[in-house]
Amino acid sequence: MTQISEEKLKKVREIEFAINKNLFLICAAITLIAMLMVIIEFFSRGAFLPSQIGFFYIAVLFVYSIHKEMLRWLGEKKIERQEEYFIYS
């Protein structure tokens, strides 16, 4: 019985790890879009309306971080530290 449970847990970890990679790509794309919008707003000197992406951006990053913590709770040992790129940027 423990053999079946361990195999199921391993499969769940693999699926969640794949989901995590997709969430990272989504967060990276939204980060680039948000930065581009801020740069355009800054250099246009008010010609464009201020971007209203702030709350949406924070919500997307929150979902990504919650999922990352869920992977840690599942006992994933090889978690990549890609989220540091968001902090650097």
Cα-atom radius of gyration of the chain, to the nearest Å?
A: 18
Determine, yes or no, domain membership for 3.
no
Determine, yes or no, domain membership for 15.
yes
Q: What angle do CA 41, 47, 52 make, to 5 degrees?
A: 45
- Contact assessment for residue 85 and residue 28, using Cβ atoms and an 8 Å cutoff: yes
What value does the mean pLDDT of the chain take? 77
Q: Could you list the residue range(s) of the whole structural domain that residue 62 is in?
A: 9-88
- Contact assessment for residue 83 and residue 31, using Cβ atoms and an 8 Å cutoff: no
Determine, yes or no, domain membership for 2.
no
- Contact assessment for residue 69 and residue 60, using Cβ atoms and an 8 Å cutoff: no
pTM of this structure? 0.66
Determine, yes or no, domain membership for 1.
no
Amino acid sitting at position 40 = I
pLDDT higher than threshold 80 for residue 44? yes
Domains: count for the chain: 1
pLDDT in tens, 4-30: 687 887 787 788 888 888 888 888 888
